[in-house]
């Protein structure tokens, strides 16, 4: 985890402390950037932390806002999974982050906790190639089923595509 200007460590944040005390083996660090808390985890503990955030009545994270991924091609753990949750009743937010190496870019699905994660995880799979263990329906959602030219949101994907655009027949004006 690299600190950027404006980012601070947030080990004393109440939500981060609760996660660290409940699942210390999964907790790596916590940061705040522009008022938003991010908790950095070992990927093997993501599902356990998510279940805790969802089920603990004092936390009550009942709404999954977004799932995304980031590609850092020069890092040993190339991919970062980013999860954002909101507690509607408690009016609090948290972002979870977990890193994945390129040679094993898999992580547990959270669709068993938040059903809305189903489509978000499928999009990450389709665009970045990250596989979700125990996902109920892991298949492409944006690209054709037979698309085999890589993952368009990875940084090593060519901006002009991989040649398939050359096969289009264009109409004369």
Quick one: pLDDT band at residue 6, thresholds 50, 70, 90? confident
Is 119 within the bounds of a domain? yes
Q: Which is nearest to 53 in space by CA: 44, 67, 40, 63?
A: 63
Q: CA of 135: how far to CAs of 15, 55, 59, 122, 127, in Å?
A: 27, 20, 25, 9, 16
**CA–CA distance, 105 with 163 (Å, rounded to integer):** 26
Q: Between β-strands 131-133 and 106-108, what pairing exists: parallel, antiparallel or unpaired?
A: parallel
- Structural domain for 133, as ranges: 7-164
Tell whether the torsion through CA atoms of 10, 16, 20 and 25 is positive or negative. Answer: negative
Query: Tens digits of per-residue pLDDT, 123-144?
Result: 999 999 999 999 999 999 999 9
> Would 77 be classed as within a structural domain?
yes
Average pLDDT score, the chain: 93
Count of domains forming the chain: 1
- pLDDT of 127: 97
Helix axis angle, 46-55 to 14-22, nearest 10°:
120
Residue 5: what pLDDT?
A: 84
Structural domain contains residue 2:
no
Q: Does any domain span residue 171? A: no
170 in a structural domain: no
- What's residue 11's pLDDT? 86
Which pTM does this prediction carry? 0.90
Does 42 fall in a domain?
Answer: yes
Q: Which of 8-12, 75-79, 131-135 has the lowest mean pLDDT?
A: 8-12
Task: Check which CATH number belongs to the domain holding 104 and give it.
Answer: 3.30.460.80
């Amino acid at each position: 985890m690299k600190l950027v200007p404006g980012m601070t460590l947030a080990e004393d944040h109440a939500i981060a402390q609760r996660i660290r005390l409940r699942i210390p083996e999964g907790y790596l660090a916590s940061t705040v950037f522009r008022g938003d808390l991010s908790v950095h985890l070992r990927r093997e503990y993501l599902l356990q932390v998510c279940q805790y955030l969802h089920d603990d009545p004092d936390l009550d994270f009942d709404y999954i806002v977004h799932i995304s991924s980031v590609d850092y091609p020069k890092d040993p753990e190339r991919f970062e999974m980013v999860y954002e949750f909101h507690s509607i009743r408690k009016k609090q937010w948290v972002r979870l982050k977990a890193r994945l190496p390129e040679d094993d870019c898999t992580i547990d699905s959270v669709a068993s906790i938040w059903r809305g994660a189903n489509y978000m995880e499928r999009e990450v799979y389709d665009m970045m190639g990250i596989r979700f263990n125990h996902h109920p329906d892991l298949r492409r959602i944006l690209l054709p089923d037979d698309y085999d030219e890589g993952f368009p949101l990875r940084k090593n994907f060519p901006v002009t595509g991989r040649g398939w655009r050359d096969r289009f027949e264009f109409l004369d004006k």
